[in-house]
Amino acid sequence: MRSTDDLATAIADARSDAQTLRRMGNESQAAALEKLLASIAWAAEPFTNWISEGDAMLRSGDSERTLRRRFRILMECGLARYGIRGRREYLTCAIPQRADVPSAYDAGRQSV
């Protein structure tokens, strides 16, 4: 099992523990654990969320050829895999996000 799978499994196991606490009548402990898990899951999302090759192209602005050229190296590092029906998938953290320059410019102008 890869470390990304371990992280997702640990989060899921802790959520199960929170449900068990709730069933046993420990509502406040369950709520505190769920709140902590929500923040951890949000922060860990780039390391646990797999996206399709098409979504990776949209996110990065890279061509299919460019992504496929990097695929083998990313797969060896645990950052890419073959998903359902042999389709290529990438962890979100492995794909750079293209800058949205017009939106950033508009946001900067509005804050002045």
The alpha helices in the chain, defined as continuous H runs, are 3-23, 27-48, 53-60, 64-76, 101-110
DSSP per position, 36-58: HHHHHHHHHHHHH-EEEHHHHHH
CA distance 4 to 45: 10
User: Quick check: 4 and 91 in contact, CB under 8 A?
Assistant: yes
CA distance 31 to 86: 40
pTM of the model: 0.74
In a domain? residue 108? no
In a domain? residue 18? yes
The 8-class DSSP code of residue 82 comes to E
Q: Are residues 54 and 44 in the same domain?
A: no
Structural domain that includes position 29: 3-48
Q: Are residues 66 and 33 in the same domain?
A: no
User: Residue 91: phi, psi to the nearest 5?
Assistant: -70, 145
In a domain? residue 66? yes
What's the total number of domains in the chain? 2
Confidence band for 3, pLDDT divided at 50, 70 and 90: low
Q: What is the pLDDT of residues 12-55, one digit of tens each?
A: 999 999 999 999 999 999 999 999 999 999 999 999 999 999 99
